[in-house]
Amino acid sequence: MTISPKFKLIVDLITVITILLNGFIYFYPDLLNPKGQCNWSDAKDLKPKFPILNNIPEKFLQPLLLNVRDLAESQKVNDDIHMLLFGDPQINGNWPNTKYIKRLDNYGNDYYLGHIYNTMSKRLRPSHVTVMGDLFSSQWILDTEFYNRTLRYVERLFPQDYEYKRNVIETHSKHEDYNWNLWLENETKMDPLDRFNSRVYNDVYDWVYQDRKTPNFDNPLFINLTGNHDIGYSGDATWQHMARFHHLFGQNNFVINYNKETERSWRIVVLDSLTLEGPALQNEFLEYTWSFLNHLEKYENPTFNGSTILLTHIPMYKKAGLCRDGPEHKYYKNYTREPYKVGLLRSQNHLSYETTQKVMSIVFTNVNKSGIILTGHDHEGCDDWYNYVDGEWVASKEQSPKNRQSVREIVVRSMMGDFDGQTGILTGKFLNDNWRFDFSYCSFTVQHWWWASKISILITLFLQSLIKLPSFFGLQ
């Protein structure tokens, strides 16, 4: 059996294309984005671990060291805030009647999203990672499917070491409906101040080892926000929805203080914006979230003198035209399938004006300190400033500080392929007695390029085997 030179040439060409495609998807931060955009603000150049690498031109050396961290010297840990943000992954599920092509698409989408996270987390080694809600594509799934998607979430999309996903793995292996009635009973019995105190953390960088006081770059602190496709809008949210989210993803409202009562003080406030407004199916959820805010104002704000990062799913109120989504609230009307929901909140694009004013005045309590809001929900993304004008917070495209610091709101663009697989990069640097927050996007591309890189590997292996096997069996 003779392999023609022309066939070998074609196979060699396909092999080169495969190598280039796979190099492209791993080096995409530097190939598809302006210089510095896929790095922390004002980041210093990395130094190579091996002197021979100094012979590589600098414009190629830095991308190499960023993407292959084992080749770079270890950097000193500094006090900068380093957080990666991922908007609305909305992963789908498989059902008995789901077609095989759709199952394959869901499988590939998991790894496409996982590729973005793995590339960026290994490249930048963040201290914090936040997923902006809408982890799943629908809240109307049974517990067993919720467990299936959560396992995919921690194994394929955002993998961590075993101890950080043990609860998910063990819950999935049992596949028993979660006892939400017990959770309901415990929550309703809890004293409001005790509930709040159980949601206050200080200098936590690791959920498993909370005594650790330095960032865990191998397993960054994960913050999962509640989205409307995870627990529902308040007119839909049930005790079952809320209980299983708490069990597998964490609390829906909490605050983490860092460097408290020092000049470098800052905090993260995680707020469940789905349970701020109603009419709600379970009014208790609204009571708990407003109780959290009121306790934050009463017990935390008096001793807090720093900057705040607010993380929530639903954006703040702003007039139409500033973002893709304008203000909108919808309510159930003539809903014969579930008539008990008539009049309840069905969906919303923003928080209301009144809620926005209350939330921002509580959360951003320090007049001369910076603050930033990071939200999801609007997949297109948006970037605005809230200026404090004549006693009210007003959204604008321009920053115009008068009597106090303006607050920037970033609506984080989705990481889905239709939105080019975005990673939000938040850097906080302490300058002139205040934290300065900088934000940028690192864009990938549509998922088809990821698919092409993987399919090309299979084709190349098959074609190369056609060339190698004849000689292996002595037929050439």
pLDDT value for 474: 53
pLDDT value for 476: 55
Give strand ranges (E) for 215-286.
221-224, 254-258, 266-270
Q: Residue type for 219, please? A: N
pLDDT value for 471: 60
Residue 469 pLDDT greater than 80, yes or no: no
Distance of CA 187 to the CA centre of its chain: 27
* Average pLDDT over all residues of the chain: 95
Calpha distance 467→471 (Å, rounded): 8
In a domain, 52, yes or no: no
Calpha distance 231→254 (Å, rounded): 17
* CB 408 within 8 Å of CB 437: yes
Residue 130 pLDDT greater than 90, yes or no: yes
In a domain, 43, yes or no: no
pLDDT value for 475: 52
Structure confidence by residue, pLDDT tens digits, 282-332:
999 999 999 999 999 999 999 999 999 999 999 999 999 999 999 999 999
Strands of 128-131's sheet in order across: 221-224, 128-131, 81-86, 423-431, 434-442
- We report the CATH number of the domain holding residue 298 as 3.60.21
- Residues 181-192 have a mean pLDDT of 96
pLDDT value for 234: 98
Residue 395 pLDDT greater than 80, yes or no: yes
Residue with tokens 């203000």: 327
In a domain, 149, yes or no: yes
In a domain, 361, yes or no: yes
Q: What percent of the chain has pLDDT over 70?
A: 98
pLDDT value for 3: 78
Structure confidence by residue, pLDDT tens digits, 349-377:
999 999 999 999 999 999 999 999 999 99
User: 377: closest CA among 406, 402, 352, 410?
Assistant: 410
Return all residues near 331 (Cβ < 8 A) that are at least 6 apart: 235, 279, 343, 344, 345, 346
Residue 401 pLDDT greater than 80, yes or no: no
| Pairing, β 128-131 against β 81-86 | parallel
In a domain, 469, yes or no: no
Residue 223 pLDDT greater than 80, yes or no: yes
Secondary structure of residue 79 in the 3-state scheme: coil
Give strand ranges (E) for 289-352.
307-311, 329-331, 345-348
- Residues 412-438 have a mean pLDDT of 97
Q: Residue type for 128, please? A: H
User: 150: closest CA among 130, 132, 170, 120?
Assistant: 170
In a domain, 309, yes or no: yes
Residues linked to residue 270 through DSSP beta bridges, in sequence order: 254, 311
- Residues 153-177 have a mean pLDDT of 97
pLDDT value for 184: 96
Calpha distance 304→454 (Å, rounded): 50
Residue with tokens 């006892």: 179
In a domain, 72, yes or no: no
**pLDDT band per the 50, 70, 90 thresholds, residue 23:** very high
Lowest-confidence range among 44-48, 278-282, 308-312? 44-48
In a domain, 293, yes or no: yes
- Number of domains comprising the chain: 1
Structure confidence by residue, pLDDT tens digits, 195-204:
999 999 999 9
Range of the domain at 232: 80-442
pTM: 0.95
pLDDT value for 53: 94
